[in-house]
Structure 1
Amino acid sequence: MANPQLLIDQLKLLVGTPDSYGTEEQRHEIKRLGRLASNVLEAPFETMQRLPLPLVAARIGQDCHVFSTLAAGQDSVDLDTISQASGLEPRILESIMDYLCNQGMAVQAESHRYLLTPMSRLLLLPLFGDAVTHFVRSHDNCLPGFTALHRALKEPRDSTLTAFQLGQHTDEDFYTWMETHPTNQAAFHRFMKAQFASLPTWLDVLDFKTELGCDAEATDVMFVDVGGGNGSQCAGLRRAWPDMTGKMILQDKPQVLERALQVEGVEKMGHDFVREQPVKNARAYYFRQIMHNYDDDVCITILKAHIGAMGNHSVILIDDKVLPDAKPPPRCARGRVHGCSQSGHEGNV
């Protein structure tokens, strides 16, 4: 049986001294098996989310002078220096640097200080700059937006255009655009459904009946699924509490509600969640996978639109992706291993 710790120790030695590790034939076999090991260890949806982005990140690193700024530094380069060279705001740049580090295109030597890696040195060569430009091609839902991200970052700060809109040459937001692209829309919803099918849900951590259903009456609105799409969460709550007292309301755009599930006792209501919430005093206003689609200002607008509707027993439930503020220690710097690999962690709240 394989010894995981022994393998980890061997890989640390390899990362620290790659040029002196084995014969050429052995190095080729290590690379082949390393790729296979990475593929079999990661979850399928990690693979699907990983594939399109590295080339786009490489393009940003090249076009925004991130790599050249790191190369010009005598030692590690601080975030502010990279920000000045790239023209990117530090708060945006930090997220980009996190991803570049995760993909081996930079390394965080210490907090807010970064080093070049062999991969990013390679990406500074004209030949590989042309290769990145060639392979980042536009098609389907997201890749045009990924491709346009470097252009969106250079737009004037008062511009309302997103990377998606620039990439798709539209002034519509993603969800509105999908309404006229049914094939893309179907693929998106199938992917999202499959992605979350095996994960715990909010109902696994919240006993809705005990926490929010006490003393409920038939006239009470128990659950408003705001921007709830096809109503799958209403259906889940109905399964968890089949004899629920009170009402459930599913809110979304009218054209979305036309294709929603038929769930017993659920009222469908056309509503835009940036506008004042018309349903007052509900026990729960639920937002699933919504907030991460918008910047802070829009999220605040959404929440403000619901504060006035809340009663003494009302709560807002946000079920979304989260990332920790504190990053794991960097994996390596100048050939020295410093602990665990740098990777994002996400979960549901």
Structure 2
Amino acid sequence: MAEAFICHAFDNCGPAIQEFPSFFAETHYQEITSNTNTPFQEAFKRFNNLQHVMTALESTDWTVGFSHFEKEACAIIQPPQESRRPSLVDVGGGHGHQCIQLIKKYPNLSGWLTLQDLPQAVDQLPKIDGVETMVHDIFQTQIVKGKSYIYTQHNCPSILPSSADMKINTQGAKFYYLRRILHDYPDAQGIKILKNLRAVMAHDSQILIDEMVLPGTNVPWQATLADLSLMVSMGGKERSKEQWEAAC
């Protein structure tokens, strides 16, 4: 893992940072708004180094902050049916770092998790027991959509006070999880990612955004370095609370 960190920092990020001064001079020091026009956008095809770094950063500590997810996860006691509604979709889940850790922490989630990413990631994945994998581009329409059900007086009289039927939208997963995804992109592209999820959400679906939140002052140097690396390589950025609220 140490080797992957070194390769990622020096071989992937290093050339981009070296081009930083000339790039911004040419663009008149404007904020980067496209991840295809950056000092270093091709990433030199060193995709595996990035994935090894993400594996080293795997953690389920985020579940403590998302108490509503932890409550739902602990409540699942039965195995999923074929027509089940996914409990959590790990959007852009890479090599499955988080799904693997989730099943270790909550074995009852086996079969209830879905991992999505581009074919470059999914095709390299070993089989992860209890996790469904699918190829998906986050800039396209979300493919986990579920179903809608009709409740009638005949089969559900307790929830229908009148003779009218009621359509309940169970479209979409219970949770859509984005870990270190949105910081890779400028605001406009991040908003597009969120809109694609919103379009398929049910009335009780939730989007879990697992990202760094920068303080207003005295930002730690590690966070500043991450912000700079994201900007020069992908046009992304770490965001403050105010920036997250504006983007979301």
What TM-score range do you get, normalising by the shorter chain? Answer: 0.5 to 0.7
C-alpha distance after superposition, 1:213-265 (max 9, x if no partner): 65786412111111100111111111122123763111111121122242222
Judged with a 3 Å threshold, the aligned counterparts in structure 2 of structure 1 residues 228 and 202 are, in CA distance, closer, same or farther, namely: same
Task: Please report how far the alpha carbon of residue 345 of structure 1 lies from its aligned counterpart in structure 2 after TM superposition.
Answer: 7.2
What does residue range 39-188 of structure 1 map to in structure 2 within 5 Å?
140-156=11-27, 160-165=36-41, 172=42, 174=43, 177-178=44-45, 184-188=46-50
Match of 1:244 in 2: 109
Choose the corresponding residue for 2:189, options 298, 305, 320. 298
1:256 aligns to 2:102 (yes or no) = no
Quote how far apart the aligned CAs of 1:212 are.
Answer: 5.8
In the alignment, structure 1 residue 275 sits paired with structure 2 residue 140: yes
Q: How far apart in 1 are the matches of 2:131 and 2:220?
A: 40
The one-letter amino acid of 1:150's match is: P
Instruction: Flag structure 1 segments of 5+ consecutive residues without an equivalent.
Output: 1-43, 53-138, 166-171, 179-183, 329-341
Whole-Å Cα distance in 2 between the matches of residues 277 and 238 of structure 1? 24
Partner SS, residue 178 of structure 2: strand
Instruction: Report whether the alignment pairs 1:229 with 2:100.
Output: no
Provide the secondary structure at the position in 2 that maps to 1:256.
Answer: helix
Contact 1:209/1:241 (<8 A) preserved = no
Tell me the secondary structure at the aligned position of residue 282 of structure 1. Answer: coil
Distance 1:221 1:151 in 2: 47
Structure 2 residues not aligned, in runs of 5+: 146-171, 224-237, 242-248
The 1:246–1:264 alpha-carbon spacing in structure 2 relative to 1, beyond 3 Å, is closer
In the alignment, is the contact (CA less than 8 A) between 2:60 and 2:102 conserved in 1? Answer: no
Kindly indicate whether the alpha-carbon contact (under 8 Å) linking 2:19 and 2:39 is maintained by their aligned counterparts in 1: yes
Preserved CA contact (<8 Å) 2:89 2:116 = yes
Q: Which protein has the larger Cα radius of gyration, Structure 1 or Structure 2?
A: 1
CA contact (8 A) 2:111 2:132 kept: no
Q: Which secondary structure state, in structure 2, belongs to the residue aligned with residue 311 of structure 1?
A: coil
CA separation in 1, counterparts of 2:107 and 2:114?
A: 15
Residue 53 of structure 2 aligns with which residue? 191
Residue identity over aligned pairs, in percent, reads: 34
AA in 1 matched with 2:95: N
Q: CA deviation at 1:190?
A: 3.0
**Residue identity in the other structure for 1:240:** K
Structure with bigger RCO (C-alpha 8 Å, 6+ apart): 2
Distance 1:276 1:190 in 2: 28
User: Which one has a larger percent helix, Structure 1 or Structure 2?
Assistant: 1
Of 201, 207, 223, the match for 2:61? 201
The structure in which a higher percent of residues are strand is 2
TM-score w.r.t. the length of structure 1 is: 0.46
For residue 301 of structure 1, give the secondary structure of its aligned residue in structure 2: helix
Give distance in 1, aligned partners of 2:97 and 2:54.
12
Judging changes above 3 Å, is the alpha-carbon distance between structure 1 residues 321 and 254 closer, same or farther for their aligned structure 2 residues? same
C-alpha contact (below 8 Å) 1:228/1:251 kept by paired residues: yes
Amino acid at match of 2:40: F
Q: Cα distance 1:249–1:144, how it changes in 2: closer, same or farther (>3 A)?
A: same
Count the aligned residue pairs. 185
- Listed one character per residue, the Cα deviations across residues 319-340 of structure 1 (whole Å, up to 9, x for unaligned) are 1222112x14xxxxxxxxxxxx
State the Cα deviation string for residues 166-216 of structure 1 (Å, max 9, x = none). Answer: xxxxxx4x3xx42xxxxx43433333433x25x663134345341466578
